Structure 1
Amino acid sequence: MKKLENKVAVITGGNSGIGLATAVLFAQQGAKVAITGRNQATLKSAAETIGQGAIGIVSDVSDLNSITAVFEEISAKLGKIDVLVVNAGVSSAAPLADFTEEQFDNISDINFKGVFFTVQRALPYLNDGASIVLTSSAMNEVGYGTYAAYSATKAAVRSLARSFSQELLERQIRVNVLSPGAIDTPFLGRNGGSKEEIEGVKGYIASTIPLKRLGTSEEIAEGFLYLASDASKYMVGSELVLDGGVKTL
């Protein structure tokens, strides 16, 4: 039996990288999948890659009206939601002395405020017993220079899962967190740099990981499947860390 047979699953930021790999796996496991993102072209391509009748809807999680409209549309097309993966996020790095208010507001609006209100606005459209998975980061407990704001937003996401879980227990809605380490996705190249520079950064990061390699989107997708399915039904307000051993070895 497929682990998400006939479940309705929504993945924000599902048009590339980890989100797309997770959407593909969920569809293979029987879910009716909806993905959101800010780029219509990549959403269309991603929905075709996912197949199985997946739908892609343009949405900006920093726009609260956009969030509400998305859940209304998904509910009308697919029914009430059983799995919500709150995965949309951005990264921005700069020395503390140079970090701008614009950078701070952008990363906070998407990574923290966007997560908070995505869950809030989803509540009327969730089935009782639903599973919510928030994407944090292994950096939520580790200090890296130039990544202070990013790490802080991911620590905030980890905290939200605990508080949300307490509030939603009456509806048997589970909220958990998946915290990836360094994963080989397009995300690593979004701060600019040539192909050679990006590969150099990847090589350096890999050298700092006990397993001596970056993780793959497919490996992280398996973690999302575990948290989305009944396999983790006794897991509430907790965190699954998939980082190649960085935080423990």
Structure 2
Amino acid sequence: MIDAAKLFSVKGRVALVTGGSAGIGRMIAVGLAAAGARVYICARNAEKVAAVADDIPGDVIGIAADISTIDGIKALVAELSGREKALHVLVNNAGTLSDAAIDEFTESDWDGVLDLNLKSPFFLLQKLLPLLRAGGSAQRPASVINIGSVGALKVGPREVYAYQASKGAIHWLTKSLAKNLASDNITVNAIAPGFFESDMTVIKDNAMRKMVESMVPRGRTGLAEDMAGAAIYLASPAGSYVTGSVLPVEGGLSI
């Protein structure tokens, strides 16, 4: 007999959500904490990440960290390793974009996006492997959730070349990591969000809202519950046989 409550439970699990102080990262952190996980969130601004951690109900701890550099990644891993013996859920959410015409797109625009969106998730995962291996078992694997994008499934109207390239690469990196880490009892999946309102995706007026909603078959933008539900599924026993997948959470936008 299936126990639905246990099937989708993350109670007692330890999670790290990068970029967890705002946007999609915060949505996921709120959802995991509400479902009973201990959630660490990290962001560059120490005051902001501490305030957000205090504001989210549940067992939430804020850590100031700059994961755009290897030294910053090592410092975060050292801090987490000093607090926990195992990590069960890693959400690689921190990211950025540059929106510029092709004739004006600079090398620094490109490198900044690729470094944070692609290089950082790989090396953070690499440095966290001892904790993730300790957190996984054959019956209950540890879960890595990379945040991709509908922009890697469908080309949109904005000129965000490096962003789309980085997210396309994250989708394929997810598959490569999933294949190689399965024997370590670690699943690796990606969520490809559509239009969720955040600091990176701002709806400026009603005309823009109508335009965005007209592009989405479901007729609306994403809600926090949509994103939290997808992450909880992948981190719970319900998702333990899912690995190497890209889960679109975009209301049909990529169709």
Do 2:17 and 2:93's aligned partners in 1 also have CA atoms closer than 8 Å? yes
Structure-1 residue corresponding to 2:237: 230
CA apart distance, 1:75? 2.5
What is the CA distance between 1:110 and its match in structure 2?
0.5
Q: Who is 2:53 aligned against?
A: 47
Equivalent position amino acid for 2:222 in 1: G
Residue 146 of structure 2 is aligned to residue 134 of structure 1? yes
Give how far 1:139 is off: 0.9
Give 1:55-70 correspondences, 5 Å limit: 55-70=61-76
Q: Which residue of 1 aligns with 2:118?
A: 112
2:34–2:57 Cα contact (<8 Å) kept: no
SS at match of 1:81: coil
Q: Match for 1:204: what amino acid?
A: M
Structure 2 residue aligned with 1:149, among 162, 166, 189?
Answer: 162
Aligned to 2:107: 101
> Which deviations, in whole Å up to 9, do the C-alpha atoms of 1:147-166 show, x marking residues without a partner?
22111100000011111011
Uncovered stretches (5+) of structure 2, i.e. residues with no partner:
none
Q: Tell me what 2:98 maps to.
A: 92
- Give me the whole-angstrom Cα distance separating, in 2, the residues matched to 1:73 and 1:213: 40
| TM superposition score normalised by structure 2 | 0.89
Query: How far, CA to CA, are the matches of 1:224 and 1:53 in structure 2?
Result: 17
Residue-pair matches, total: 242
Which of 210, 215, 220 is the matching residue for 1:213?
Answer: 220
Question: For residues 209 and 234 of structure 2, what CA distance do their matches in structure 1 show?
Answer: 28
What do the CA deviations read for 1:50-108 (whole angstroms, capped 9, x no partner)? 23331111112211111122122123223310011111011221111111111111111
Q: List per-residue Cα deviations over 1:107-127 (Å, max 9, x = no partner).
A: 111111111111111112212
Q: Structure 1 residue 200: deviation in Å?
A: 4.4
- Measured in 2, the distance between the counterparts of 1:101 and 1:199 equals 35
Q: 1:162 aligns with which of 169, 175, 179?
A: 175
- What is the aligned partner in structure 1 of residue 38 from structure 2? 32
* SS of equivalent residue, structure 1 residue 80: coil
What letter matches 1:9 in structure 2? A
Give the 3 Å change call, closer, same or farther, for CA 111–202 of structure 1 in structure 2.
Answer: farther
SS at match of 2:88: strand
| C-alpha deviation, 1:204, in angstroms | 2.4
Counterpart residue number, 1:176:
189
Where in structure 1 do 4 or more consecutive aligned residues deviate above 6 Å? none
Structure 1, residues 126-160: CA drift from partner, whole Å, max 9, x if none?
12321100000011122235122111100000011
- The aligned residue for residue 192 of structure 1 is none
Alignment correspondent of 1:23: 29
Preserved CA contact (<8 Å) 1:9 1:33: yes
Residue equivalent to 1:81:
87
Contact 2:117 2:166 in 1 (8 A): yes
SS of residue matched to 2:97: coil
CA–CA separation in structure 2 for the residues paired with 1:100 and 1:23: 33
1:199 to partner: Cα distance? 5.4
Cα separation, 2, equivalents of 1:49 and 1:198: 28
1:218 Cα shift? 2.5
